[in-house]
Amino acid sequence: MRATTLADRQAIYERLGTGPLPIEGMLSAEQYEAEVQHIFNKAWLMVGRVEEIAEPGDYKIKRLDVAQTSAILVRGRDGEVRAFHNLCTHRGNKVVPETGHDSFGRARGHSLTCRFHGWVFDTAGPLKMLPQEARFPEPIDRSCLGLKPMHCSIWQGFIFINLADEPEDTLDDFLGDYGEHFAGYPFARASWRRRYSSVLDCNWKVALDAFSEGYHVETIHAGTLPGIASVEMEQTDYKLFGPHSTSGFYVPGAEAMKPTPVEARLGGSLRQSARHGPHLDLLPPTINPKKRNDFMFEFSVMGPNTVLHLCAGAAYPGMAYFHHQFWPMGPGKTLWQGTNYYQPPQTASELVALVHTDTLHRNAWLEDTSTMENTYLGLKSGKLKDVLLMEDEVMIRNSHYAIKEATHAR
């Protein structure tokens, strides 16, 4: 079913309700199993960018603990990106050894060779050869023994997989109007990637929710982002698109921000450069619809487990974007990955300025992640039955509405 837009405030609250949010679903192992089955094994999941596997033969191994598998995302000699289970069809070993949650490499001669018994697969999937084939007592039908494929589709350079045997929706319908809202942003320009990650002892929804609202900025980021935390901000232009939602983040008080001396020098050099400076004209037309100069970023939840922010060089350096992902590893365990994408630095001074910006971002994320395990412990204490949500926390309401709809309607 295509995800269509709901933008009217009253209609949003009529759909989502205005009351407190019950917390039971963040604690229940049964609910977790329902989410694994009905959401993570059915929804389209964003697992990478085309720039991560830019050349034929390049691969990324994405561990998917939630489905007890991992995906080989590989670019074939024909340039196509394909996804396979990282699973040898001989006896089930991982074909490509992993070095972490994400691993990267290049297949030599477009061959992926299992280290267990040396079965060799082509990057397009087929089983190319196996040692001592004649010694299997029954004939080997190689045509049935290629790598097990995963449904794979690309939107705006983001690689998605779907673990269902037959996905309920195409990726285009799954993203629906959300996909159109963000289409056309120059994602490919911002190919310089800086990724931080941690495994958190909390339910994935606790972590998702913590990054899904702007209400926390002026308190939790007063240490690292005092300029932003001390001036007037506005989160507005809320839109729902099925399991996805978005909003615009503006800084009407930006002129009152007092950057530190080094931030003024390094961040200032980026803001004043033609390459990294403001380019509001490059935003898709439905983002920043009133063409405000104090636009800071578009701030969205791409269901089920991604938070995506787009920037346009105003109050933030460059046509840069960033996302958070929350990968369930169990009812109370979550892999968080925060990734900043910038335009690649062309000079040393650009590199130093971008690293300074990225350091502030990383430090702000250290502030964000400080709440999640504590929040989860607080919820587990049993002293709260539900939590209160203000207007800027409405995207949390939408995520929980969509999760409930996907798991309870069955």
Partner 1 sequence: MRVDATSLPPEFADLEALAAIWALPTENERSALRWRSSKADFQALYDAVAPRLDAMLIALDSHPLAAMPPAFQRLLHLALAFAEATPHVELYKGANQVPISFDNSRFTAEHGDQVYGRS
Is 367 a residue that touches partner 1 (CB under 8 A)? yes
Q: Name residue 398's amino acid.
A: N
User: Among the candidate windows 18-26, 236-244, 296-304, 349-357, which touches partner 1 by CB under 8 A?
Assistant: 349-357
- Among the listed residues 314, 370, 310, 307, the one whose alpha carbon sits nearest the alpha carbon of residue 338: 307
Question: Measured between alpha carbons, how far is 123 from 77 in angstroms, rounded to an integer?
Answer: 8
Is 191 a residue that touches partner 1 (CB under 8 A)? no
Residue in 351, 378, 380, 404 binding partner 1, rule: CB under 8 A:
351
Contact call for residues 39 and 406 (beta carbons, < 8 A): yes
Cβ neighbours of 216 (radius 10 Å): 16
Is 370 a residue that touches partner 1 (CB under 8 A)? yes
Is 346 a residue that touches partner 1 (CB under 8 A)? yes
Q: How far is the CB of 351 from partner 1 (least distance, A)?
A: 6
Is 42 a residue that touches partner 1 (CB under 8 A)? no
Q: How far is the CB of 100 from partner 1 (least distance, A)?
A: 8
Q: How far is the CB of 345 from partner 1 (least distance, A)?
A: 7
Contact call for residues 217 and 386 (beta carbons, < 8 A): no
User: What is the x/- site pattern for partner 1, positions 211-240, by CB under 8 A?
Assistant: ---------x--xx-x--------------
DSSP assignment letter at 92: -
DSSP assignment letter at 190: -
Is 193 a residue that touches partner 1 (CB under 8 A)? yes
User: Among the candidate windows 138-146, 191-199, 206-214, 399-407, which touches partner 1 by CB under 8 A?
Assistant: 191-199
Question: Measured between alpha carbons, how far is 315 from 242 in angstroms, rounded to an integer?
Answer: 30
DSSP for 248-266 reads EEE-TTGGG----HHHHHH
Please report the sign of the dihedral spanned by the C-alpha atoms of residue 31, residue 36, residue 42, residue 48. positive
Contact call for residues 88 and 48 (beta carbons, < 8 A): no
Q: Which is nearer to partner 1, 12 or 266 (CB)?
A: 266
Q: Which is nearer to partner 1, 50 or 364 (CB)?
A: 364
Contact call for residues 94 and 120 (beta carbons, < 8 A): no
Q: Which is nearer to partner 1, 28 or 198 (CB)?
A: 198
Q: Which is nearer to partner 1, 220 or 387 (CB)?
A: 220
Q: Which is nearer to partner 1, 130 or 372 (CB)?
A: 372
Contact call for residues 9 and 392 (beta carbons, < 8 A): no
Is 362 a residue that touches partner 1 (CB under 8 A)? yes
Residue in 79, 137, 139, 261 binding partner 1, rule: CB under 8 A:
261
Q: Coil, strand or helix: which one is 127?
A: strand
Residues lying near partner 1 in the complex (CB under 8 A): 100, 102, 193-199, 220, 223-224, 226, 260-263, 265-266, 345-349, 351-353, 355-356, 359-360, 362-363, 365-370
